[in-house]
Amino acid sequence: MKRKQRKRKGSVLTWIILAAAVCVLSFSAFQLYKILSSYKKGTDEYKKIQDLVINQEEEFTVDFEKLREMNPDVVAWIRFEEPEVISYPVVHSKDNQEYLTKTFGYVENSYGTLFVDMENAGDFSDKNTFIYGHRMNNGSMFGKLEEYAEKSFCEEHPYFYIYTPDGYERKYKVFSAGVVKSTSDSYKKVYNSEEEYVRYIEKIRAESNYQIDINVTAQSQIVSLSTCTAAGNEDRFLIHAVRVSE
């Protein structure tokens, strides 16, 4: 009798463990589906925007009138030749939280939107303008930005472009790239003197994974691009680029 009771208890325990395992697998599968669905929706939305507003027949142009109809917070379009996936609208909001989980079309999505820091002017007139974007696992948004961790990649693809509603195309050359803490002074945006700004430039160059031979002075304007890393919540991958033409 005791042997039968032990056998019955063992069978019940086995079924409980099996049921728990099925529940865990089902939940994991559902979470994976949500992630993949979110990625697809984000990819599809930005591809549709690109198709609507970008013209590359003779030269790269952006229809900001259409962009403003979709979202009046738009202030720019950023484009890399490589990684070519980086070609997106950029917004400027009253805070740095709104577009972390909201796409350009106001859809709740982990893609978010590339955005200029709330403390910046938004028209790229500051000494240093910061743009933030998510590091998506499928390589979209700023997911490929970390390719600039290697000097060889930077030397082969040193430039990116920022287009603004006033018709300007600003060309930037990357001169610094590396991992910093989210609390780093590398995120400083206000410089009380030219000397302080020069010290800031020297600091970010010293933090870089490599050195690039380009003159960055007290009169230079730079753009800093920031994204997360796979290492942890406190780490950021940050690149700095100086404007070389307009």
> Count of CB atoms within 10 A of residue 140's CB?
21
Query: What's the rounded Cα separation, in Å, for the pair 89 and 74?
Result: 7
Identify whether residues 116 and 159 lie together within a single domain: yes
Summarised one tens digit per residue, pLDDT across range 207-229 is 999 999 999 999 999 999 999 99
How far apart are alpha carbons 225 and 115 in whole angstroms?
10
Residues 130, 24 share a domain: no
Count of residues making up the chain:
246
Query: What six digits make up the tokens of 21?
Result: 């395992």
* 35/69 same-domain check: no
Task: Say if CB 116 and CB 129 are below 8 A apart.
Answer: yes
- Per the CB < 8 A criterion, the answer to whether 225 and 142 are in contact is yes
- With tokens 């599968």, the residue in question is 29
Same domain, 83 and 38: no
Residues 6+ apart with CB under 8 A from 35: 110
Tokens representing 76? 């720019």
Bridge partners (DSSP) listed for residue 80: 160
**61-98 pLDDT, tens per residue?**
999 999 999 999 999 999 999 999 999 999 999 999 99
| Same domain, yes or no: 159 and 191 | yes
Question: What CATH number should be reported for the domain holding residue 112?
Answer: 2.40.260.10
Query: What average pLDDT does this structure show over 119-123?
Result: 95
pLDDT of residue 29: 40
49 lies in the same domain as 110: no
Q: 219 lies in which domain range?
A: 63-245
Q: Quote the number of domains for the chain.
A: 2
Q: How far apart are CA 142 and CA 221, in angstroms?
A: 21
How far, CA to CA in Å, does 9 sit from each of 2, 94, 188, 193?
10, 61, 64, 77
Domain co-membership, 130 together with 36: no
- Residue 220: helix, strand or coil by DSSP? coil
Strand partners, 228: 236
Asked if 158 and 189 sit in the same domain, the reply is yes
How far is C-alpha 2 from the geometric centre of its chain's CA atoms?
64
The C-alpha atoms of residue 32 and residue 234 are separated, in whole angstroms, by 25
- Work out whether the CA dihedral 114, 120, 124, 130 comes out positive or negative: negative
Confidence class for position 24, pLDDT limits 50, 70, 90: very low
Question: Is residue 34 located within the same domain as residue 80?
Answer: no
**Mean pLDDT across the chain, nearest whole number?**
88
